Amino acid sequence: MAEVRIAVDVGGTFTDVVKLVPDTGELRFEKVATTPSEPTRGVLAAFDAAEAPLGEVSTFNHGSTLGLNSLLTRTGARVAVVATAGFRDVYLLGRTDRKAMYDLTYRKPEPLLRRRDTFEVVERCTFDGEVLTAFDERDARAVARRIAEGGYDAVAVAFLHAYANPEHERAMRRVLQEVAPQVEVTLSHELSREYREYERTSTAVLDAYIKPVMRTYLTALGHELADGGFTGRFLMSRSGGGAMTASAAAQQPVNLILSGPAGGVVGAAALSKLIGYENLITIDMGGTSLDASLVLDGEPVLHAGAQFEGMPINTTSLNIHTIGAGGGSVAHLDAAGALQVGPRSAGAAPGPAAYGRGGTEPTFTDAALVLGYMGSDSPLGGSLQLDHDLASKALQPIAHQLDMSLPALARGIVRISTTKIVGAVRAITVELGRDPKDFALLSFGGGGGLVAVDVARELNIPTVVVPPGQGAFSALGMLMADVQHDYSRTSVVALDATSPADLEVAFQQMEDQARVTLTEEGFAVGDQEMHRSVDVRYVGQEHAATVPYPGEGDGGVLTSITRDFRALHERLYGHVMDEPAEIATLRLRAVGVVDKPKLPACPVRTQGAPTPFGRRPVFLSGDEGEYYDLYTREALQGGDVVHGPAVIAEHTATTVLHRGDRLEVAALGELVIHVRVDDTGTSTDAATRVERANTDRKDAQ
């Protein structure tokens, strides 16, 4: 019996599934509708769609937005906070900074609980872990009884300086387990051993808020999988890239909050090394949102200061910029009568009008169909036939209000979405000092190929790469993810006042803990990797830069750290200083290495050329339309060249290229599109230039 590996990525509109049979190289991509009311049913339907019997599956990688949706809809657990006496209001006060500096209507994000949900226990440790006030067990028991009587589902314990000495938090858990055993407990130090009390408390509250719903979901799904004969490894995609076991995810679900788009970025990093484009901008356009990220030198960019709606998450995550610009984004007129798209989405139920599932509001997908980018000739996922008449009917009311033709309105909807996506890419490149033209654009997700060439042309990006199975590429990326655990220890010490021996002791303690965890998860010593790094800053600075910890043969440890920090600081901020530097935090990434899927080579065409199966008008300007050649991606082979204007339809997505663009099919079946630009390196799209001029004129007024 052949080994089968499955990855299932549950999105807001579709659930994507990838089936890989390593022995034969079979790679199968499927889509099924997401089932928000019964999430386990949608996952099991994905197994059925891929024709993957549970008893034959050796590894199941899963990504879910269930925890994120609980936060978005504020339907998580009723949470209590237990803090050190005198520090009850740390969570509710937060920080005094303003992200929207000049917004007069700005209001702090609504917290997940009220002051009556916060409790104090007598105890206190100092910053270096010394016990200043002993843990008062009688006081703790009184608080635990109030929590038990208050009907709370979960409690977040966040004591002052618990990152340095966690014993009092552990003592509080023992009391809660005895007095209030029905309550889920989160200890802040188990999520983050770093300073900054508010950030650590916020992370614990977020974890506690989604822990009951995630534990219930993972337990129920695990039972259904076992009942179906599944005995393999069950992994969850995590926010920081990589994966974690389902049992670990149930214990620390905060690591799943931003995991939705992580699979695609991990897959992009792995693919970048195979195809020779190691610097990539990625855009993942799904049904509800678009996620933009970077791959630098073949590695995803990490971010240690992630937030959810202004609430800090003090765990490592991928640096992903998300906007509400998906295939289901709803077009509407704002209060001023101007056309807008998103961020609200039609979601999975009812979905875009063209799906024929009861939706009546106009969406990006409906506009793409009316514009001619999509058609009824290639059913999505092999079964979903788009209905042009329903899409036109949905667009008609707004077209009437604006006195526009349907093609003109559809063109406007697509153009607005494209402009928003360009802004998202600029946020992770231009605004951080990076030039987009130094990257290739990797486009995936069900809608990415519809806008990729336009986005690239607007930003002077010369090359667009469309990976195999673009519509379900995030799920494919999950199959490439190793199991990862992140550990950290705050230890603020001047570089010239420490010794490599002291640092070695601290790293060794983290590595010992990591090896125990990875061994329990079934990884042999030879499959365990430890990656060390340190956060370094100049004395007097608030934030630090992370540099790799030097290994043997790198010269003096402290000299190497200083050299690498100065180089990184200059790269990030454009200057270095003569001030002394200090270490703020030690970090360890522990990796359990899994077998990576080998993507099958694309068959090479030996004779002839690809032949279009038809033509379709696309209304890029005016209402007459220009005819685009239609190809199926499944019919393309290695070495094939397609010149625009053309539309490439495939099982899970569609790719559009315009006049002057040239597409080549490369070795692994990836589509490499060379984007047309004029002699000055700027867009020759007249409609784009006119729109930009109009925008500039309005801004000037």
> pTM, whole model, 2 decimals?
0.84
**DSSP string computed for 206-241:** HHHHHHHHHHHHHHHHHHHHHHTT--SEEEEE-TTS
Is 353 buried (19+), middle (13-18) or exposed (0-12) by CB count in 10 A?
A: buried
The first and second tokens of residue 413, run together, are 């909807």
DSSP 682: S
Alpha-carbon distances of 618 from 93, 220, 622, 659, rounded to whole Å: 54, 47, 10, 12
Instruction: List pLDDT tens digits, range 378-402.
Output: 656 556 789 999 999 999 999 999 9
Alpha-carbon distances of 378 from 127, 370, 381, 413, 528, rounded to whole Å: 62, 15, 9, 22, 45
User: Rg for the chain (alpha carbons), in Å?
Assistant: 26
> 3-state class of 441 per DSSP?
strand
**What is the structure's pLDDT at 137?**
97
Return the beta strands (E) in 513-639 as ranges.
Answer: 528-538, 545-548, 581-592, 614-618, 626-632
Is 173 buried (19+), middle (13-18) or exposed (0-12) by CB count in 10 A?
A: middle
581 strand-pairing partners: 538
Instruction: List pLDDT tens digits, range 106-129.
Output: 888 789 999 999 999 999 999 999
What is the C-alpha separation between 536 and 171, in angstroms, rounded? 33
The first and second tokens of residue 161, run together, are 């300086």
What is the C-alpha separation between 234 and 248, in angstroms, rounded? 11
**DSSP string computed for 638-680:** BT-EEESSEEEE-SS-EEEE-TT-EEEE-TTS-EEEE----TT
- With beta carbons less than 8 A apart as the criterion, state whether 37 and 19 touch: no
What is the C-alpha separation between 617 and 626, in angstroms, rounded? 5
- With beta carbons less than 8 A apart as the criterion, state whether 599 and 274 touch: yes
442 strand-pairing partners: 282, 465
Q: Which amino acid is at 354?
A: A
What sign has the CA pseudo-torsion 50, 54, 56, 60? Answer: positive
Among residues 414, 268, 412, 257, the alpha carbon closest in space to that of 322 is found at 257
> 3-state class of 92 per DSSP?
helix
**What is the structure's pLDDT at 281?**
97
Given a cut of 70, the residues of the chain with pLDDT beneath it are 1-2, 377-383, 552-555, 678-701
- With beta carbons less than 8 A apart as the criterion, state whether 252 and 191 touch: yes
Collect all residues with Cβ–Cβ distance below 8 Å to 567 and sequence separation of at least 6: none
Among residues 320, 300, 285, 295, the alpha carbon closest in space to that of 439 is found at 295
- With beta carbons less than 8 A apart as the criterion, state whether 162 and 168 touch: yes
What sign has the CA pseudo-torsion 389, 658, 443, 311? Answer: negative
**What is the structure's pLDDT at 331?**
96
- Is residue 263 within a helix (H) or strand (E), and if so which, with residue range? helix 262-275
513 backbone dihedrals φ, ψ, rounded to 5°? -65, -40
**What is the structure's pLDDT at 695?**
42
Number of C-beta neighbours around residue 376 at 10 A: 14
What is the C-alpha separation between 563 and 560, in angstroms, rounded? 5
Collect all residues with Cβ–Cβ distance below 8 Å to 586 and sequence separation of at least 6: 488, 489, 491, 503, 506, 507, 510, 532, 534, 535, 549
**What is the structure's pLDDT at 382?**
56
